Structure 1
Amino acid sequence: MPGFQLPSDPHLRRWMLFVDGENFTIRAQKVAQASNIVLPEGAHYLKDIYIWLPGLQATQDTTQGHLRLQAHAIRSFYYTSASGDEQKLVDVKRRLRELGFNPQVFKKTRDKSKGVDIALAKDLLVNAFFDNYDVAVLIAGDGDYVPLIEEVKRQGKVVYLVFFKEEGLNEALWLAADSYFEMKQFFVDSWNRFNQETSSNK
């Protein structure tokens, strides 16, 4: 029947994505440098503030089918900070929103702000408590999230960790997660493909 779509596999789990954008951006920049990848600022990247994978919407499966998830996240959150005035923060939020994220952008101060960590922890816990997801996909490498993961697991939820193992991934965090996806090759391939397409269109 034209226009008829098969229902999604009921065995695939509902999920939400939570990205520690501060941590992810710093580590991703190091991966890019080590892999000789140029990161042009634009829709997918703003130096030291945010980075994402070209060609991938925020709600799409970041693991490319390696984990048994529904094709799209119920919601995807991105947490980061930026220096500048209120308009700068609004601009960063707008950019992340256009990628499909629910953005939370905090004003950066001299001392490392805990705003990102606290906001991420709150959203992960509250959504688990209200049974809004079966799986939390966490892009982060900081060991401070270990107690958070343990609490979410006590609520019967599953936590999938996605990060760069050789770039600051805390071993205790890796051990606490139910499953892990190494994103380095996927990240490198995404940006190489983007740069090739961009240069060929010039």
Structure 2
Amino acid sequence: MRVALFFDGKNFYSGWREAARGRRIDFTKLADWLVKKANGSHLWGAYYYTSIEENIANTSDTQQKLSGFLDMLETQSGFFVKTFKRKVSNINCLQCGSENRYILEKEVDTAMVAHMVNLAATNAYDAIVLLSGDADYAPALEAIRSLGKQAYVASWAGAGVSKRIRNAAFDHIDMLLGLEFFERELSEYEEVEEGFECEQEAEKIEIESVTGDLSMDSFLAELDQAQSKFNGGYVGLGYFLTRWRSSHLDTTPEIRRQVLDKLLSEGFVETYNAPDGALAIRVSNKIEPNIKSV
């Protein structure tokens, strides 16, 4: 049985970093393992979709590492890399009115959906494994199944897998269970794809009074800790609001956003455009929280 693999690069990397703690991958062995988990006999093709800066020669070191990683991936048997230009949009802060830049990657999603469905319609494969848990792909999996193909979704311990896409898939494959089969030594290009190092276990911290508000002080302490964990202190705004794990912060992104807006308006936190163009946050120079590891 022929199996096709489709990687949503950003989604795949995000789950790998969060759940697998950035453990190293042999992509050829990963492909072989996924084919077997989908009850297949051989790989039809592995398609890796992501976005890059338009002129990679003049961009950040992170983007150049991404380019090197993609070049390496294309040399792997059966792998095909599909890249798209990153689209930049602007967002205005509701509190201060400042304009900030962020990245849109919708073309990646739509191109991937068209490719998956087209190959199914032309009987190119018998089963597909989608390495993304984004609910936007659920209609595509439903269409593929209606064409008589099996559609699996693969993730790192279920990280980022929506209920809708889980229901649309024939089954779920947990890649954490296969790490012992496809883990390998790290190459220089696989350190970073989107500009983050792997997250380490959070340390316990004492919250010092900076603003006089416990929720704001906790946010500052955790953000300071996150900056110390990631390469160059780069903490993605969306990542910190939705995925940063902490017993000191509310788990609801909307509540975290409300606290962030207060800190932005009072100048304790600032937003900026990271080297890869994504919107990031950091503790402002206005303060230096006294945070102690215990």
Structure 1 portions without partners, runs of 5+: 1-12, 40-52, 196-202
Residue identity over aligned pairs, in percent, reads 26
Change (3 A) 1:115 1:187: farther
Residues 38 and 127, structure 2, Cα contact 8 Å, conserved in 1 = no
Q: Which amino acid aligns with 1:120?
A: M
Residue number among 28, 32, 37 corresponding to 1:66 in the alignment: 37
Q: Secondary structure at the match of 1:128?
A: helix
Give the aligned partner of residue 94 of structure 1. 71
Residue number among 39, 47, 63 corresponding to 1:77 in the alignment: 47
Residues 138 and 164, structure 2, Cα contact 8 Å, conserved in 1 = yes
Distance in 1 (alpha carbons) for counterparts of 2:75 and 2:3: 20
Distance in 2 (alpha carbons) for counterparts of 1:15 and 1:105: 22
Residues 35 and 43, structure 2, Cα contact 8 Å, conserved in 1 = no
Q: Which amino acid aligns with 1:57?
A: T
Matching of residue 107 in structure 1 with residue 85 in structure 2: yes
Spell out the pairing of 1:28-177 with structure 2 (5 A cutoff): 28-33=16-21, 53-54=25-26, 56-57=27-28, 60-63=31-34, 65-70=36-41, 72-83=42-53, 85-87=55-57, 88=64, 91-100=68-77, 101-108=79-86, 109=88, 110-177=102-169
Give the aligned partner of residue 266 of structure 2. none
Change (3 A) 1:27 1:123: same
Distance in 1 (alpha carbons) for counterparts of 2:52 and 2:16: 17
- Superposed displacement of residue 150, structure 1: 0.7
Residues 59 and 75, structure 1, Cα contact 8 Å, conserved in 2 = no
1:84-108 residue CA offsets vs partner (Å, 9 max, x unmatched): 6145586454222013311011222
- Superposed displacement of residue 189, structure 1: 6.2
Q: Which amino acid aligns with 1:115?
A: E
Q: RCO greater where, 1 or 2, for CA within 8 Å and sep 6 or more?
A: 1
Post-superposition, which runs of at least 4 consecutive aligned residues in structure 1 deviate over 3 A? Answer: 86-93, 187-191
Q: Between Structure 1 and Structure 2, whose CA radius of gyration is higher?
A: 2
Q: Which amino acid aligns with 1:83?
A: E
Q: Secondary structure at the match of 2:103?
A: coil
Q: Which amino acid aligns with 1:77?
A: Y
Distance in 2 (alpha carbons) for counterparts of 1:75 and 1:63: 12
- Superposed displacement of residue 160, structure 1: 1.5
Distance in 2 (alpha carbons) for counterparts of 1:59 and 1:165: 15
Give the aligned partner of residue 7 of structure 2. 19
RMSD of the alignment, in Å? 2.5
- Superposed displacement of residue 114, structure 1: 0.7
* Number of aligned residue pairs: 164
Distance in 1 (alpha carbons) for counterparts of 2:165 and 2:119: 20
Taking structure 2 as the reference length, what is the TM-score of the superposition? Answer: 0.50
Residues 159 and 177, structure 1, Cα contact 8 Å, conserved in 2 = yes
